[in-house]
Amino acid sequence: MSTLRITRRAADRLLSGHLWIYRTDLEAVEVEPAPGSLVTVTDARNQQLGTALYSSASKIAARLVSRTPELSREQYLSDIRTRVEAALQLRRELAPVNAENNAHRLLFSEADNLPGILADRYNDLVILQLLSQGTAQDDVRQTVVAALREGLAPNGEPLTLWERPDPRIREMEKLEAPAPGPLFSATDSPATTTQFTLNGLHFGYDVGAGQKTGAFLDQRLNYAAAAAQVRSSGRTGRALDVCTYHGGFALHLAQICARVTGVDASRTALEVADQNLALNPQLKAETDWIEADAFELLSAYDTQHERFDAIVLDPPAFAKSKRAAEGALRGYKELNLRALRMLSTGGTLITNSCSHHVSLEDFTGIIASAAADAGRRVQLIETRAAAPDHPEVLTLPETRYLKCLICRVD
């Protein structure tokens, strides 16, 4: 087994509970490891720190998978199975499947001690992502699929498992495309579409469409909290959902408000949002969708003195690196400043950031700065994060990425 010797700073980071080793952390490599292989990690004094999965391409050169050095491949696969079983049990406790909710994250990579492995459930479909050279391998794939089948369909319940690569990660890790077809299907005709429920609302799911695994399940409880706050505010006339994607916040607000507008730059996303609206005929709000750039539309609305009782801002990650954080804060400030100018007195602002490079403190500070510039008094009602099926690990700050602030604006 190859050995990676890392800097003292990197060793301290691992000892504090982190799992990543960056390429800049490497001091020496005795033998160039094979892409995706297991390697033993040592500090500058050659003290063994554990076993990691090596990547020849990523800036993250290795991901620690065990504090045991010189771990065999067989033991690693056994650990994966045990950890998948533990992750599924945690979801049974934190996000049980029922008539109101049958979609959640099953496996959350480092947060479940499964670096490079994600899985999301949408009713009877499970979407798997293997995100590193060390996990996008047949033995890992077979181990995860077997554990998911046993945990989710022990008695032959309807289940289809698909692998869906993240194109950006696949390019970064230099990974081949997975083989076509499902990883597992309980029937001879594998399902590629389904319907799932979040907070009692119905949504459609298509394996071949959408971003990442297809929907943003991390906002599940935030959708409900936003609707509850708007209801309690008494200001339920007109709502605006900016970067609506498939209509998550918009449809929840359509339970409360008389008129809801969802905005997104993607026509395809809005078509799905409209299909989701049709799945919920009980929603009586006047609902419309606008294909537009968020910055341009909010600027135009601001100029036209448009007014709303509730505004949701849920943009994609502005900061995908530390270098981009400063520019991201400027973008967040502009969006929030425009929104604050357009909110009616007593209205609700639901503002989000999914950039883990932007801290909660910085994000909250930028909203405060926007409030001062807009001349609005903003009361922070709730500070929220991802739903608990996306657990945070205190020693892994990257697992705390989603910030959701629910505010009352005077």
**DSSP string covering 273-288:** HHHHHHT-TT--SEEE
Which residues make beta-bridge pairs with 327? none
Angstrom distance (rounded) from CA 406 to CA 314: 12
pLDDT, tens digit only, all 410 positions of the chain: 899 999 999 999 999 999 999 999 999 676 789 999 999 999 999 999 999 999 999 999 999 999 999 999 999 999 999 999 999 999 999 999 999 999 999 999 999 999 999 999 999 999 999 999 999 999 999 999 999 999 999 999 999 999 998 788 888 888 888 888 999 998 889 999 999 999 999 999 999 876 655 678 999 999 999 999 999 999 999 999 999 999 999 999 999 999 999 999 999 999 999 999 999 999 999 999 999 999 999 999 999 999 999 999 999 877 566 677 778 889 999 999 999 999 999 999 999 999 888 999 999 999 999 999 999 999 999 999 999 999 999 999 989 999 999 999 99
- Quick: pLDDT tens for 184-224: 998 889 999 999 999 999 999 999 876 655 678 999 999 99
Q: Are strands 117-122 and 103-108 parallel, antiparallel or unpaired?
A: antiparallel
**Enzyme catalytic residues:** 354
Answer whether 319's CB lies under 8 Å from 327's CB. Answer: yes
Number of residues that make up the chain? 410
The full set of domains in the chain, from first to last, is: 3-70 (2.30.130.10), 74-198 (3.30.750.80), 215-409 (3.40.50.150)
pLDDT for position 173: 86
DSSP 191: -
Answer whether 39's CB lies under 8 Å from 21's CB. Answer: no
C-alpha dist (Å) from residue 360 to 107, 363, 385: 24, 5, 10
Angstrom distance (rounded) from CA 223 to CA 221: 5
Answer whether 352's CB lies under 8 Å from 359's CB. Answer: no
pLDDT for position 105: 97
Helix residue ranges, H only, 52-107: 73-94
- Quick: pLDDT tens for 147-189: 999 999 999 999 999 999 878 888 888 888 888 899 999 888 9
Contacts of 173 (CB under 8 A, 6+ apart): 55, 57, 58, 131, 132, 133, 136
- pTM for this prediction: 0.93
Q: Dihedral sign for Cα 9, 11, 14, 18, please.
A: positive
